[in-house]
Amino acid sequence: MPLMDSSLLRNSTPFTLGPLPNLLNKTQKCRHSLSSLSLPTNSHKHLFMRRSGSSSGPRNDVTFDEAAYEAERLSLDAKAREEMAETSKIETQESGVAEDPKAWKWVIRKRIWDMMEARNIAQNPRPVHHRIPNFVGAAAAADKLGGLEVFRVGNCVKVNPDSPQKQVRFLTLSDEKKLLTPQPRLRTGFFSVLESHMLTPSTIKEACTSVGVAKYGRAIGLDEKIKVDLIVIGSVAVDPRTGARLGKGEGFAELEYGMLRFMGAIDDSTPVVTTVHDSQLVDDIPIEKLLVHDVPVDIICTPTQVIFTNTSIPKPQGIYWDKLSPEKLGQIRILRELKRRIEEETGQKLPCGPSEKLPPTARRGR
């Protein structure tokens, strides 16, 4: 694999729709016409609905088949982790750490995952490899976040769906805020919204799980008018000096951030917070090697401390279509539909990123 293209680095001029003079007005028009963007909101959920009722009466009541939903989610999650494991081998072994532009990230990730397992800092689901790792003290870190002024005054909080941030989702709903959480790997839709009035005291905890989100959440599309006041993001490693962050390697946090920017739901001033164990704090993330779409964090909450990074790393300005591989685009239906709509509205074809060398298991039918 060739050396890193300098156009991918932070000091490059990023490609987004906004700065292009010939596309600016048309893109803004497209953004406001997204009400015509037909995105199914319940097409996946209905696959897990089953009728219930007494054998002597009509079966009109419909219930959510939790077991079927969770079985499929776990199966797809296992496949995704296998693919990430294979990808990490490809990028660190076949090309060599010194030559591959992404290999250094996998080295840090593996070190953190190995350390957390070895020191028994990890919590279920285990092993934590190829996950946003759950950790001892995750609830305490969430409580630190819950005491932040930006959390207390916020009305809508976007929280990642991973296990260590479950308590953050619970605090959001318990405080009667609007919870925005992505659907699993964006594979069937976009985001789901949950609000306390949609729940009862006995269902709030369940609503913080992946099954609960599918069961109680309201799916939204890109035309939703929403303002996000705070973003909570999961991390494998984060540098408290710079705010540089590494996720688990799939890139969905960056895509979610870019789409929220496109919607106008967030801007540069929207705080980004992560909750991690103190042992996940590192000092060897080279900011000069970060890519233009990597999302830095403003605040880090651990079980023992709150760190304001005062990051100077620029935040992504939108979706970087010229960095998005055909393979990644092929995995996410909502991105394909958005790309098609933008091209129709602007009359210009959006660029496409270089092809990724995905493992064979990733080339399954979609």
Which residues touch 98 (CB under 8 Å, ≥6 apart)? none
Could you tell me the pLDDT band of residue 210, with boundaries at 50, 70 and 90? confident
**pLDDT of amino acid 69:** 54
Segment 133-149, tens digit of pLDDT: 999 999 999 999 999 99
Could you tell me the pLDDT band of residue 11, with boundaries at 50, 70 and 90? very low
HSE-CB at 308 with a 13 A cutoff on CA atoms is 5
Among the ranges given (167-181, 212-226, 348-362), the one the predictor scored with the smallest mean pLDDT? 348-362
Among the ranges given (82-86, 97-101, 229-233, 294-298), the one the predictor scored with the smallest mean pLDDT? 97-101
How far is the first Cα of the chain from the last one, in angstroms, to the nearest whole number? 27
**pLDDT of amino acid 27:** 40
Segment 104-131, tens digit of pLDDT: 999 999 999 999 999 999 999 999 999 9
**pLDDT of amino acid 92:** 58
**pLDDT of amino acid 41:** 43
Angle at 305 between CA 299 and CA 311, to 5 degrees: 25
Is residue 247 classed exposed, middle or buried when 0-12, 13-18 and 19+ CB atoms within 10 A define those classes?
A: buried
Statement: residue 309 has pLDDT above 60: yes
Which residues touch 74 (CB under 8 Å, ≥6 apart)? none
**pLDDT of amino acid 250:** 85
Statement: residue 54 has pLDDT above 60: no
- The chain-wide mean pLDDT, for the chain, equals 79
Q: Select, from the ranges 10-19, 148-157, 182-191, 215-224, the one with the highest average predicted confidence (pLDDT).
A: 148-157
DSSP bridge partners of 231: 158, 272
Is residue 334 classed exposed, middle or buried when 0-12, 13-18 and 19+ CB atoms within 10 A define those classes?
A: buried
Could you tell me the pLDDT band of residue 2, with boundaries at 50, 70 and 90? very low
**pLDDT of amino acid 296:** 98
Could you tell me the pLDDT band of residue 341, with boundaries at 50, 70 and 90? confident
